Amino acid sequence: MSDERHSASIRMEALAPHLAQAAAAWAARLGLAEAGEAAFALQLGEAGLQLVELGPQAPGPVRVDFVEGAMAHRRQFGGGSGQMIAKAVGVQAGVRPRVLDATAGLGRDAFVLASLGCPVTLIERQPLVAALLEDGLARALVDPEVAPIAARMQLLGGNAIELMAGWQEEPPQVIYLDPMFPHRDKSALVKKEMRLFRPFVGDDLDAPALLAAALALASHRVVVKRPRKAPAIEGAKPGYVLEGKSSRYDIYPKKALAKA
């Protein structure tokens, strides 16, 4: 996701007195005021961190929750290794590639891959989104059922292009990209999230540089998720495409994934 800085006005709020100290720590870390007029609030409550638009017509808050709700349903009933994303990254019998999700967002796709057994490193450069993701992972790690999945997820904050260019560890086998795009999924949930995050995130105008950096680093393949009718990212052409109802996966193969 784009833009290092948040341009919209936002304040930090604690939703209970005993959370004030922890909320103040988040405010200091993210450079947020704890009072004053604002269009948005990052709130710390009993259920964790959440981002909310302030005002009478605003949608509800958005938080990262890997334990309950939509992610729990997908974990239990999502189709396992038959899902299109699993096929796109190369999950198959005896193959669970090491994945770098360089545009982590709220971590849904990374969580799906981790739930299938893939070790996943997540990069998120927007500080507010990274904070929500960090908080969601911390809560997942203390849930007995979800902790083994969350333990396969490692979060890095920062600019993915820079982090990939300076990568010092063993290269990821697969790099997964889902750049922000103006015309995305029309579901109510995604509409709400886009309304909340667009002022902070914008569109990924550097997607071509992101793809180039990923192709330079990945050892086996790069996978790019796109809206079904959107053009491919400018640059190298995908080797093949997996197409679904609303989205598709552009796949840039470098070498075949083999069983461990």
Residues tagged in the binding site annotation for S-adenosyl-L-methionine: 108-109, 124-125, 178
Distance CA 131, CA 141 (A): 15
Distance CA 228, CA 208 (A): 18
Cβ 201 vs Cβ 3: under 8 Å = yes
Listing DSSP states for 240-254 in one string gives: EEEE-SSEEEEEEES
Q: Say which residue the tokens 């309950």 belong to.
A: 68
Alpha helices in the chain (DSSP H): 20-30, 70-77, 84-89, 108-115, 127-140, 147-150, 160-165, 188-201, 207-217
Query: Which residues lie across from 11 on neighbouring strands?
Result: 33, 41
| Residue numbers belonging to the annotated binding site | 108-109, 124-125, 178
In this structure, how many other beta carbons lie within 10 angstroms of the beta carbon of residue 189?
12
Distance CA 21, CA 26 (A): 9
In this structure, how many other beta carbons lie within 10 angstroms of the beta carbon of residue 40?
22
Q: Say which residue the tokens 């971590």 belong to.
A: 107
Residue 165's contacts (CB-CB under 8 Å, 6 or more residues apart) are 213, 216
Positive or negative CA dihedral for 165, 169, 175, 180? negative
**Quick one: CA torsion of 222, 228, 233, 234, rounded to 10 degrees?**
140
Amino acid identity of residue 16, one-letter, is A
